[in-house]
């Protein structure tokens, strides 16, 4: 039986407002799938009689398989801000692959569908309507997850050692805010920039530079959501930026607001 994942998700903007419009549950994968799957997630909403709600997300460097009635896709990494409109009543069941771990299923460069969707049948030779019915037909979250896991287990590819290497690199980026340049990673892991970029292009779908910037922005959004002061020079320094202007520029470019505007609208 899959366990709830209690770790707070990063990348969801305006979390408090979102919690008023939808529910999010996350589950850990079983042991057989833990090498490939980071977690499962289920979003449910009932906005009948209400205005549609736009949820904004700063995506992670992961591919997602999203099961939704008549709307199931593999989603590549979204390089900008992802916005999902929720309307009426619905639910989706998502599989978040570990960074790089979708490649063994696909065997093609993941960058080929960054900022795009991939047909379910491009990967699995199955009738998607039947699969959707088997997974989404259940009312209980646990049963939907079990159906999704049973399906994936039938298609498990060989494990690829490059996936662990990629996730070791990403863990360092997440945990060390002083890493701001690709050169910081090439020096740390003694790997050439060209090799690292090719690895990320094929397996992750985005560049190492993108990953560094995205994790820094995740951390900034979390600091602001937790009530951190609007001392922008201090925030910029804590995140490893050389000055606040670079931090503000990066934040506004992706989120669409300055940090102050974002903070004022939390």
Give mean pLDDT in consecutive 10-residue pieces for the chain, a chain of 266 residues.
66 90 96 97 97 95 98 97 96 98 98 97 96 97 97 97 97 88 94 97 97 89 75 77 84 86 82
CA distances from 167 to 38, 42, 162, 213 (A): 11, 24, 9, 16
Residue 259, pLDDT score: 86
Residue 181 inside a domain? The answer is yes
| Backbone angles phi and psi of 202, in degrees to 5 | -75, -40
**pTM assigned to the model:** 0.93
Look at the chain and report how many structural domains it folds into.
Answer: 2
Residue 264, pLDDT score: 82
Same domain, 147 and 165: no
DSSP result, 71-136: --EEE---SSEEEEEE-SEEEEEEEEEPTTTTHHHH-S-GGGGTTSEE-GGGT--S-HHHHHHHHH
Question: Domain containing 250 — which CATH number?
Answer: 1.10.10.60
Residue 1, pLDDT score: 47
Same domain, 140 and 218: no
From the DSSP assignment, how many helices (H) and strands (E) are in the chain?
11, 8
Structure tokens at 231: 């001392």
Residue bearing tokens 């599989």:
95
Nearest to 144 by CA among 132, 127, 130, 156: 132
Domain containing 203 equals: 161-264
Same domain, 212 and 143: no
Residue 8 inside a domain? The answer is no
Same domain, 147 and 68: yes
Same domain, 133 and 180: no
Residue 79, pLDDT score: 94
Of 153, 186, 204, which marks where a domain is finished?
153
Of 120, 153, 186, which marks where a domain is finished?
153
Axis crossing angle, helix 182-189 with helix 161-175, rounded to the nearest 10: 120
Distance between CA 77 and CA 115 in Å, rounded? 6
The SS3 of residue 53 is: strand
Residue 225 inside a domain? The answer is yes
């Amino acid at each position: 039986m899959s366990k709830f994942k209690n770790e707070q998700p990063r990348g969801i903007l305006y979390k408090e407002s979102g919690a008023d419009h939808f529910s999010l549950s996350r589950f850990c994968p079983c042991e057989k799938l833990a090498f490939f799957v980071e977690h499962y997630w289920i979003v449910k909403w009932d906005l009948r009689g209400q205005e549609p709600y736009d949820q904004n997300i700063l995506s992670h460097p992961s591919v997602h398989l999203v099961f939704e009635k008549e709307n199931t896709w593999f989603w590549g990494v979204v390089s900008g801000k992802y916005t999902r409109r929720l309307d009426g009543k619905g639910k989706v069941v998502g599989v978040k692959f570990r960074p790089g771990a979708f490649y063994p299923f696909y065997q093609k460069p993941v960058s080929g569908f960054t900022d795009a969707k991939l047909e379910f049948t491009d990967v699995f030779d199955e009738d998607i309507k039947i699969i959707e019915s088997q997974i989404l037909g259940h009312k209980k979250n646990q049963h939907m997850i079990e159906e999704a896991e049973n399906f994936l287990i039938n298609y498990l590819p060989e494990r690829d050692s490059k996936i662990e290497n990629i996730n070791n690199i990403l863990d360092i980026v997440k945990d060390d805010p002083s890493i701001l340049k690709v050169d910081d990673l090439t020096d740390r892991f003694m790997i050439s920039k060209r090799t690292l970029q090719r690895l990320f292009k094929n397996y992750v779908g985005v560049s190492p530079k993108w990953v560094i910037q995205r994790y820094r922005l995740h951390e900034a959004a979390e600091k602001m959501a937790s009530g951190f002061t609007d001392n922008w020079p201090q925030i910029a320094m804590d995140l490893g930026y050389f000055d606040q202007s670079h931090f503000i520029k990066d934040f506004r470019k992706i989120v669409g607001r300055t940090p102050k505007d974002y903070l004022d609208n939390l």
